[in-house]
Amino acid sequence: MASPLFDPSHMTVPKLLCQALKFFPSASLGPGDLMLTTKFDPQKETYVMCHHGMRSLQVAKWLQTQGFRRVFNLSGGIHAYATRVNPSIPTY
């Protein structure tokens, strides 16, 4: 099983990845959520991110309980990625 965490300083985001991003509020996910099986392949890598990485860590752990085996959380969130890797991304 993949580690639920990865360091944002090791991440590069190719332009093609941006086309594959899907945004879902964590509050919309629930037990046995059919949306997951129709929108995502549990066998493919799934990256989860939020502002500071805490809510996405909860979602990453939950996804693993739903059968997703290659789940990664952006440790420190989008904020850490912006400050450590890509300062052109605005922070707040």
Q: How does DSSP assign 10-22, residue by residue?
A: G----HHHHHH--
Report d(CA 28, CA 60) in Å as an integer.
14
Burial of 33 (0-12, 13-18, 19+ CB in 10 A): middle
The verdict on whether 50 is a catalytic residue reads: yes
Tokens 């991440």 found at: 11
Annotated catalytic residue within 48, 50, 59, 60? 50
Enzyme catalytic residues: 50
